[in-house]
Amino acid sequence: MSLKDQALAVRENAYAPYSRFKVGAAIRSENGVVYTGCNVENVAYPEGTCAEAGAVAAMVAAGETRLSEVFVIADAPLPVSPCGGCRQKLSEFGAGDVAVTMANLDGVERTMTLAELMPGAFSETHLENT
Ligand code: THU
């Protein structure tokens, strides 16, 4: 199954009763394994988590910490764009040249690199004086 198909499939499991906005994310690790995640909302709204966060958590739980490709999909007029927090989470585990493809259900796709999505990311370099 392609990264897109895996993101589409996991999107079906999204728990989004409050926003009704289901998101699916699929991450390919540097070892070629695919990890998926969907958004999981909560009645205490700020406790909800994004699809990308779920996929990152699945990758790390499996013992991997480097990603090589990301695909995110939702039913939106424009390809779904990862939120700022998820851009930071993805940047923790992926190099600047990692491709992040954003898509909607109409087949519109846009690919950007992590560096383009997260210019000036807070990084380990900022901690070097500690
Ligand atoms: N959401 C994601 O899971 N990923 C994104 O890239 C954008 C937003 C979720 C969070 C919330 O459950 C719903 O979409 C509406 O914001």
6 Cα: distance to centroid of ligand 1 (angstroms): 17
In whole angstroms, give the CA distance from residue 109 to residue 99: 12
Confidence of residue 121 (pLDDT cuts 50, 70, 90): confident
The Cα 93–Cα 124 span in angstroms is: 12
Residue 1's pLDDT is what?
87
At 14-24, the pLDDT tens digits run 999 999 999 99
Active site residue 41: no
pLDDT in tens, 65-84: 999 999 999 999 999 999 99
Q: What is the pTM of this model?
A: 0.96
Best probe residue, ligand 1, of 11, 21, 100 (max atoms within 8 Å of C-beta): 21
